[in-house]
Amino acid sequence: MWEPTGERSRVNYFSGRPLTASDLAAEQVQARERLWLHNRALHGDGIAVGLEVTVEWNTVHVSPGVAIDVLGREIVLTERRSVDASSVVRESHGRVQLVIAWAEEPADEVAAPSGLVPGRFVERPHVMLAEHALGEAPEHAVPLARLYRHGDELVADPSIRLHVHQHLHQHPQVHHEL
């Protein structure tokens, strides 16, 4: 888990200041790390909204939604995803979990002095099956359901779903006399 280290700084912008790609990249990294720290510290990890799991035969479907992983990264699924779960066997005893994990992929190659480089990175979460010991969460992934077989039927047990914790800050009430 990333924790704050060292002093935090930012670029001082002013008219006529030359900026490098390194300056702008550092600005992006800093903004992302601040947001991830905010998410971890004030919201926690888990499912924020959506990401409902349904089963049709041997296919598991996940609805669009948002989660936050243990590093504070937002996992945004914008369209329904389906996963073939025919590999789940009766003897799995619920060790197979359907999870969602943050991921990004390079896109839009552009020419740079060193050759072709990604023009941007697109966040595309991975929805996948993972086998783990009962109660153990996969590293950096958010569990959506435990999968098992009841006879020939594939069952998605949502009891392992964790929801984002809202930390309520209680401030002492100030009473003003009129």
Closest by Cα among 134, 64, 48, 37 to 92? 134
Q: Give the tokens for residue 69.
A: 């992983």
Helix (H, G, I), strand (E, B) or coil at 50: strand
Looking at residue 150, its amino acid is H
Query: Residue 169: its pLDDT value, please?
Result: 42
pTM of the model: 0.77
Query: Residue 3: its pLDDT value, please?
Result: 58
CATH 1.10.357 fits 21-160, yes or no: no
Instruction: Give the whole-angstrom CA distance, residue 11 versus residue 27.
Output: 7
Instruction: Give the whole-angstrom CA distance, residue 99 versus residue 161.
Output: 10
**Annotated domain spans of the chain:** 21-160
- Checking if the pLDDT of 26 tops 90, the result is no
At 163, give phi and psi (nearest 5°): -105, 150
Question: Which tens digits make up the pLDDT trace of 97-154?
Answer: 999 999 999 998 999 888 998 888 999 999 999 887 555 556 789 999 999 888 889 9
How would residue 175 be classed by pLDDT, with cut points 50, 70 and 90? very low
Question: Which tens digits make up the pLDDT trace of 42-80?
Answer: 888 899 999 999 999 999 999 999 999 989 999 999 999
Residues in the chain: 178
Considering only residues 122 and 41, tell me which one the structure prediction assigns the higher pLDDT: 122
